[in-house]
């Protein structure tokens, strides 16, 4: 069944010399000397299995006698090379990691989890996923640890379950170095654009992975596996490796701008989600909330502490379908499926109508309809295409508004 309001109770550039990052590779004339980066200690949520040989073997040497001469074999490289080309993954990671935090949430009922967030502004607001902080939202304990090891307690400013977005704020953060990450424009992202994901998969803080934008406008209904209501997004799909613990972390473009918040993965079993109760691994199907939408939600949460959802005020069936989103025969608790006086009612929609398009976007199910509606703002005008008794019609509809999660 639907949830009561339209299914709701209610460039990164690529190409150029040297590969997708648009920079030529640094000539490899000698071994690179990498400065070690401090790792934040975290509780591992998985057993790491060493495959054969452990450790990192940087080079090997062997003495061989040939006509009395000794030959030493070693890796090539220049030990003086410490810088990286601007725009390279190393450069992006170096600039971004100090503004990414590992979030640990501890609930009063013993429930806990680890996720990621990133600095949103200089006031100490951190942007993350709702499902990362949900367990600690009611008088629980939240901590945010920076890449330099400094840890701060935090509190929830606001969270939006439907969007899976939350904002937390650091306490006593006068000594914290707060460098907000630059935000990109997710509307301008193109399939094939290079991506970088940063987070704490399985508690491994400061993990950097790369990939591309695999698809856009992917309708996703995700759950943290905890039995809560689902979240809906018209997501950016990426093949950058993300796992449980990457939740809430930034998905970056090749300029280092945030284009999305990593939020869900497709598991090899069924369903999608990044909750700590679902310890599936990456299979190259990750989904991020577009940053343009997340920014709007974050601003609402900072200002009022509550999310605002655009709605059509009609309940739609939520079972998978390929024909469209069908308006249900009744709403929650015996209420009408089409709320009298609501946007859907004013537009003339009725129970049994099958919505097949929202503007030019094909609607194949209830979750897809919600995902698309939530990319808009209350007051936006949209055109719905629907079927009734075999006849296809179009209507214009002005989206209504709902405050808070029901």
pLDDT of residue 249: 97
Does 30 score more than 60 pLDDT? no
CATH number for the domain harbouring residue 346: 2.30.42.10
Does 169 reside within a domain? no
173-222, pLDDT tens digit by residue?
A: 888 889 999 999 999 999 999 999 999 998 899 999 999 999 999 999 87
Mark whether 321 and 283 lie in a shared domain: no
The catalytic site residues sit at 131, 164, 247
Mark whether 261 and 329 lie in a shared domain: no
Question: Cα separation of 305 and 96, whole Å?
Answer: 27
Does 303 score more than 90 pLDDT? yes
pLDDT of residue 376: 95
Question: Cα separation of 193 and 199, whole Å?
Answer: 20
pLDDT of residue 228: 54
Place of tokens 């090379």: 81
Does 265 reside within a domain? yes
Domain end call among 263, 291, 319: 291
Mark whether 354 and 390 lie in a shared domain: yes
Q: What is the pLDDT averaged over residues 252-266?
A: 95
Does 34 reside within a domain? no
Mark whether 196 and 281 lie in a shared domain: yes
Q: Determine if residue 4 is left, alpha or beta; phi over 0 gives left, psi from -120 to 50 gives alpha, anything else beta.
A: left
pLDDT of residue 188: 96
The domain of 377 spans 308-403
CATH number for the domain harbouring residue 230: 2.40.10.10
User: Highest-confidence range of 33-42, 67-76, 391-400, by mean pLDDT?
Assistant: 391-400
Give the length of the chain. Answer: 406
> Mean pLDDT over all residues of the chain?
80
Mark whether 232 and 322 lie in a shared domain: no
pLDDT of residue 258: 98
Tally of structural domains, the chain: 2
- Smallest CA-to-CA distance from 11 within 164, 208, 191 is with 191
Mark whether 281 and 318 lie in a shared domain: no
Helix boundaries (H) for 208-340: 291-304
Does 78 score more than 50 pLDDT? yes
Mark whether 247 and 215 lie in a shared domain: yes
Mark whether 192 and 280 lie in a shared domain: yes
The residues, ordered by sequence, that sit 6+ positions from 47 with a Cβ below 8 Å of its Cβ are none
342-363, pLDDT tens digit by residue?
A: 999 999 999 999 999 999 999 9
CA angle centred on 242, ends 282 and 133, rounded to 5°:
120
Place of tokens 């502004």: 121
- For residue 313 the two structure tokens come to 């005020």
Mark whether 379 and 336 lie in a shared domain: yes
Domain end call among 245, 265, 291: 291
- Name the pLDDT band for 330 (thresholds 50, 70, 90): confident
Does 271 reside within a domain? yes
Mark whether 196 and 286 lie in a shared domain: yes
Phi, psi at residue 158, to the nearest 5°? -175, 155
- Smallest CA-to-CA distance from 11 within 217, 253, 216, 237 is with 253
101-131, pLDDT tens digit by residue?
A: 999 999 888 888 899 999 999 999 999 999 9
DSSP string, 86-118: TTSHHHHHHHHGGGEEEEEEE-TTS-EEEEEEE
Does 374 reside within a domain? yes
Which of 46-50, 314-318, 378-382 shows the lowest per-residue confidence on average (mean pLDDT)? Answer: 46-50
Q: What is the pLDDT averaged over residues 329-342?
A: 85
- Name the pLDDT band for 266 (thresholds 50, 70, 90): confident
pLDDT of residue 281: 73
pLDDT of residue 15: 37
E runs forming strands in 146-267: 151-160, 165-170, 194-199, 207-222, 231-238, 250-252, 258-265
Does 36 reside within a domain? no
- Smallest CA-to-CA distance from 128 within 115, 112, 142 is with 115
Mark whether 239 and 206 lie in a shared domain: yes
pLDDT of residue 76: 53
Does 301 reside within a domain? no
Judge if pTM exceeds 0.75.
Answer: yes
Does 366 reside within a domain? yes
Stronger pLDDT, 82 or 404, i.e. the higher one:
404
Which of 54-58, 60-64, 125-129 shows the lowest per-residue confidence on average (mean pLDDT)? Answer: 54-58
Mark whether 279 and 329 lie in a shared domain: no
């Amino acid at each position: 069944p639907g949830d009561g309001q339209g299914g709701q109770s209610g460039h990164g550039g690529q190409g150029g010399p040297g590969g997708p990052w648009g920079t030529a590779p640094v000539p490899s004339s000698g071994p690179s000397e990498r400065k070690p980066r401090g790792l934040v200690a975290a509780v591992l949520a998985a057993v790491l299995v060493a495959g054969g040989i452990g450790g990192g073997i940087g080079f090997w040497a062997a003495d061989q006698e040939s006509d009395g001469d000794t030959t030493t074999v070693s890796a090539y490289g220049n030990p003086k090379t410490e810088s990286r080309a601007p725009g390279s993954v190393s450069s992006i990671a170096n600039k971004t990691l100090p503004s990414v935090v590992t979030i640990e949430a501890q609930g009063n009922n013993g429930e806990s989890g680890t996720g990621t967030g990133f600095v949103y502004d200089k006031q100490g607001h951190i942007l993350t996923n709702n499902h990362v902080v949900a367990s600690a939202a009611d008088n629980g304990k939240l901590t945010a640890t920076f890449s330099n090891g400094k840890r701060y307690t935090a509190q929830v400013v606001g969270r939006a379950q439907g969007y899976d977005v939350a904002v937390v704020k650091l306490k006593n953060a006068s000594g914290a170095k707060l460098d907000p990450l630059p935000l990109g424009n997710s509307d301008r992202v193109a399939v094939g654009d290079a991506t970088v994901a940063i987070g704490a998969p399985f508690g491994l803080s400061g993990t950097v992975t790369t990939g591309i934008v695999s698809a856009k406008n992917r309708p996703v209904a995700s759950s943290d596996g905890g039995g809560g209501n689902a979240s809906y997004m018209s997501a950016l799909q990426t093949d950058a490796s993300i796992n449980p613990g990457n939740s809430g972390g930034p998905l970056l473009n090749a300029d280092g701008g945030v284009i999305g918040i990593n939020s869900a993965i497709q598991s090899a079993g069924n369903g999608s989600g990044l909750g700590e109760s679902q310890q599936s691994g990456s299979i190259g199907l990750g989904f991020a909330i577009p940053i343009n939408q997340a920014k709007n939600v974050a601003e609402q949460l900072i200002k009022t502490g509550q999310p605002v959802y655009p709605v059509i005020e009609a309940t739609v069936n939520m079972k998978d379908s390929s024909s469209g989103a069908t308006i249900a025969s009744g709403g929650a608790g015996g209420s009408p499926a089409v709320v009298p006086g609501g946007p859907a009612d004013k537009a003339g929609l009725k129970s049994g109508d099958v919505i097949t398009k929202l503007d030019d976007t094909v609607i194949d199910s209830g979750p897809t309809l919600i995902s698309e509606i939530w990319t808009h703002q209350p007051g936006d005008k949209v055109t719905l295409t629907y079927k009734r008794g075999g006849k296809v019609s179009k209507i214009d509809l002005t989206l209504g508004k709902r405050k808070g999660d029901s």
